[in-house]
Amino acid sequence: MSILSKISVINNNESVILLCGKESSLNNNYGLSKAEIDYIKNEIKVKEKKHVVINQLGRLVIVQITDHQKEKFAELETLRKAGCSMHAYIADAKLKSVTIVDVDGKEAELLALTEGLVLSNYQFLKYKKNKEKELFSLKNINVFSKTVSASKINELQIITNAVEISRTLVNEPANFLTATQLSKEFRKMGKDAGFEVEVLNKAKITALKMGGLLAVNLGSIDPPTFTIMEYKPAGAKNKKPVVLIGKGVVYDTGGLSLKPTPNSMDMMKCDMAGAAAVAGAMYAVAKAKLPVHVIALVPATDNRPGENAYVPGDVITMYNGLTVEMLNADAEGRMILADALAYAQKYKPELVLDFATLTGAAIAAIGMSGLVVMGNADEKTKDQLKQSGFNTFERLAEMPFWDDYDDLIKSDIADMKNIGGPYAGSITAGKFLARYIDYPWMHFDIAGPAFLTAKDSYRPKGGTGVGVRLLFDYFKNNY
């Protein structure tokens, strides 16, 4: 699981990636001949290339120039993507090890390039018989830098591991990853990273009257779970906890409001990506020992049209006593999240952030390019979250949250219904959730970026781990 190490001497026999601010920084120190250096400089200066690859009989020397763009965050994203390009050269050459050299002391740039490289090395081969054949060769990345500390490298190792764990949870199919199995995975993560994990079983969930979670679970043979994770370090900066909530629908068939297959059901094992995001964030925060008290809640079940499945028209009494007229069994995410949001009130949280693959409407609005967000948190908190969105290139697009939308979820016979009108679907879903909160809160609809049907640079096809880096950056910078 550990791929990064900081080194203090460069081995000139090993393949290298030279990260330079300008091509004139290149010299003979890196096992390059004068002719090679001239060639590289020409490629960069005259041909305007951003990177050049030299193959010295199997030893690769890759030169990457940092790219000056108007905005820093765009420049860093370009370097993460460059890390992905380098990964392709490395994989092609079947290199086991590579050294990244920080030629011009560019800390943030070096970390971004390294991050892109590490995240590109992710694979999910558990179910392949001949794993070895497909397994990437790269096992070891040495970082040589005078500006980047060993603790930053260690932190990057933790973050990338957490992203990988999150991706794997999403990639695991529902015939392995039941709600019970998901809670077992959380227990393992808690043991490894050092946070507490408590799993409420069906009897406990029933006793607590979590009506939304139980209703969605009615069509299922497998029991629901409700996992409570807590990380409370001695030196926490916050008096009241931050609570994370993740949608843990391990598979969404749409229930009796069945989704049409193949188009919309194929990827629905991804419907626990919100749960994977918050658990991944807990893992990274605890491993890095950030001084913040965080709790994560994950209501989990599959959503199926079983014999006893809830039917459109049913009225459900939720955990906080409010009633919901269920008019579409495919709007199940808000049913289980509502119980978790209401449960979170008992912690008197300073902030609650929920992550959910909640609506197709979020994808219709902004595609895979970012996270749809809304909520009542103060402007300062919103700005901090948005800044983390840029820092990690998990950008946030805030939706309006006007009162008008509240009318769209009114029910004739219950306190609300679980669908809105034909428009603004991600907002009406958020408005539904807002009925269960009494604290500062932001909702992150990750239906678009959580799962990709084609690789996008260092974001692989399948689960992306979106949300993990965002949350870590937010906690790191603000606590």
Chain residues in the site for Zn ion (CB under 5 A): 249, 252, 271, 330, 332-333
CA distance 301 to 252: 9
Nearer to ligand BES (CB atom), residue 271 or residue 394: 271
CA distance 66 to 26: 13
Residue in the block written with tokens 């030893």: 59
Nearer to ligand BES (CB atom), residue 243 or residue 447: 447
Burial level of 467, CB count in 10 A (0-12/13-18/19+)? buried
Nearer to ligand BES (CB atom), residue 110 or residue 340: 340
Does residue 167 carry a catalytic annotation? no
Take residue 406 and report the two structure tokens written for it.
């509240």
Q: Which of 61, 98, 336, 361 binds ligand BES (CB under 6 A)?
A: 361
SS3 105: coil
360 binds ligand BES (CB under 6 A): yes
From 87, 94, 78, 81, select the one nearest 17 (Cα to Cα): 87
Does residue 49 carry a catalytic annotation? no
The enclosing H or E element of 452 equals strand 451-452
Got the DSSP string for 220-275?
-SSPPEEEEEEE--TT-S-SSPEEEEE-EEEEE--TTSPPPTTTTTTTGGGGGHHH
Among 334, 382, 395, 431, the active-site one is 334
Name every residue whose Cβ is closer than 8 Å to that of residue 372 and which is 6 or more positions away in sequence: 362, 365, 366, 397, 399, 426, 444, 445, 446, 447, 448
Nearest approach, Cβ of residue 364 and ligand BES (Å): 9
Nearer to ligand BES (CB atom), residue 425 or residue 430: 425
Nearest residue to ligand BES by CB is 360
376 binds ligand BES (CB under 6 A): no
100 binds ligand BES (CB under 6 A): no
389 binds, among ligand BES, Zn ion, none (CB under 5 to 8 A by kind): none
Residues 271-290: x/- map of binding to ligand BES (CB under 6 A)?
A: x-------------------
Among 6, 50, 187, 259, the active-site one is 259
328 binds, among ligand BES, Zn ion, none (CB under 5 to 8 A by kind): ligand BES
Q: Which residues bind ligand BES (CB under 6 A)?
A: 252, 271, 328, 330-333, 357-361, 363, 419, 425, 447
Active site residues: 259, 334
